[in-house]
Chain A
């Protein structure tokens, strides 16, 4: 079935460092792709999305490009802040409006 795979393990980095979180997907057809962010004590929020191949989603300095050739949707940010510390989930829709989520990556930004 349709699914997404995120890289294993938490990510710890210093403020102003470059962040990359990998996400690859398996899907029939060409669904939209999403990145969600979960701040401590809160629900998941949509961070950005891309609806077709080669689309770039962007928000709050984060970007992700829908790459059909490599079936990837990696999340990047050029200069992270302490406030970016959160858990990040890659997701794609399948079935009747369901979402398949990756396992999530905890990002910790150290001042």
Chain B
């Protein structure tokens, strides 16, 4: 079975540029999560969706960050404009619908470097 697929795996871009990260969750999973991982702050939940609807975006650091889920098989996380402090590994994860106690399944992440 295909797992959670993220693209690109690596992104290097200059400060001020727009960055778009993409995620395809596991088919049939109704929850989708975006995380950021850094050495300083560890793993942080940015936003999550249920049935394509954003449920909690309180972890999104600033208005420069936005996330969408136009359909059940695709989500994007956008940073505009990007800044060096946004450099991190961004993970997408998905889980089965409505079932408390279900584990999340992670993609391999996008390593983002903002110069």
Contact = CB atoms under 8 A, between A and B. Distances in A.
A49 B98 CA distance: 18
A103 B42 contact: yes
B108 interface: yes
A93 B42 contact: no
Interface in B101-115: 101-109
Nearest to B48: A98
A43 B42 contact: no
The size class of the interface chain B forms with chain A is 20 to 34
B77 interface: no
B43 A43 contact: no
Interface string B46-67: 0010100001100000000000
A14 interface: no
Given A43-B106, A43-B108, A49-B103, A97 B31 contact: yes
B43 A104 contact: yes
A62 interface: no
Interface string A25-43: 0000001101000000111
Contacts, number: 54
B42 A34 contact: no
Given A31-B100, A43-B91, A44-B91, A96 B55 contact: yes
A7 interface: no
27 contacts: A31-B100, A31-B101, A41-B108, A43-B4, A43-B91, A43-B107, A44-B93, A45-B106, A46-B103, A46-B105, A49-B103, A89-B43, A93-B100, A96-B55, A97-B31, A97-B48, A97-B50, A97-B98, A97-B100, A97-B102, A97-B104, A98-B48, A98-B56, A99-B103, A101-B42, A103-B42, A104-B42
